[in-house]
Copies of this chain bind each other. A is one copy, B any other.
Amino acid sequence: MPRSLYDTAHGTLFGIALNYQGLLAQRLPEFNAAPYKEPPVKPVLFIKTPNTRNQHDGTVERPTGERLQPGPALAVVIGKRASRVSEAQALEYVAGYTIANEFSLPEDSYYRPAVKAKCRDGFCALGPVLVPTQDIPNPQTLTLKLLVNGEVVQENTTANQVRGVAKLIAELSEFMTLDVGDVLITGTPEGRVDVQPGDRVDVEITGLGRLTNHIVSEQEPRP
């Protein structure tokens, strides 16, 4: 019997920033300037907190006075506790794959706190289903598309990832234990776009189907 996505992917949602070659290339001038002087040498991680969890067909609120950007990404669900695993064995620790739409406010600098930009309620849709690893023999050959109101506005391939799935699992599990149900959101390619209330947003990834969300205005403060 297939496992449900929501039963399986119950753990921590780890985001990986700057994981597409094109995006990294765009930012190189800024990294080579002060104070960094060089691009990051290790994966830059962030967390999507549990309040960000959302699903296929769910609504996403655009905060009043802010810009909202979808983030199409391949999501990897961990199936076996992983501590210091090698890149060669890493894919054995994967339960399956699904689509993530990792919503964000645009981030201009470190001092636009990432948590505030990335952890609004409903800002991480996952779905529609968990696809087992045997159906995705090579996760580095998948096409990602972002569609807004049916029109393709972003398209890329996981072949362009700076670090592929196996390398990410190896590098992360070197310093922290990945647990069953944890989810790696393996990065959004360059070319993020703004979306508006009323827009329908779809992410399609080869073999994983289509994840749909609906953008709405920020709701009135709850009492």
A interface residues, Cβ below 8 angstroms from B: 11-12, 14, 31, 33-36, 38, 40-47, 49-52, 63, 83-84, 109-111, 113-116, 119-121, 175-179, 221-222
Contacts of A113 in B (CB 8 A): 40, 42-45
Min CB gap A116→B, angstroms: 6
Residue of B nearest to A12 (CB): B49
Give CA–CA (A114, B83) in the complex, Å: 19
Min CB gap A219→B, angstroms: 10
Beta-carbon contact of B116 and A42 below 8 Å? yes
Contacts of A115 in B (CB 8 A): 14, 45-47
Min CB gap A47→B, angstroms: 4
Main secondary structure of the interface of A (DSSP, over half): loop
Beta-carbon contact of A12 and B120 below 8 Å? no
Give CA–CA (A153, B114) in the complex, Å: 32
Beta-carbon contact of B36 and A175 below 8 Å? no
Give CA–CA (A158, B12) in the complex, Å: 30
Contacts of A31 in B (CB 8 A): 111
Give CA–CA (A119, B44) in the complex, Å: 13
Which of B36, B63, B175, B222 touches A109 (beta carbons < 8 Å)? B36
Residue of B nearest to A48 (CB): B47
Q: What would 28 A/B residue contacts be, using CB atoms closer than 8 Å?
A: A11-B50, A12-B51, A14-B115, A34-B35, A35-B35, A35-B110, A36-B109, A36-B111, A38-B111, A40-B111, A40-B113, A42-B113, A42-B116, A43-B113, A44-B111, A44-B113, A45-B113, A47-B47, A47-B115, A49-B176, A50-B179, A83-B121, A83-B221, A84-B221, A84-B222, A110-B110, A120-B175, A121-B176
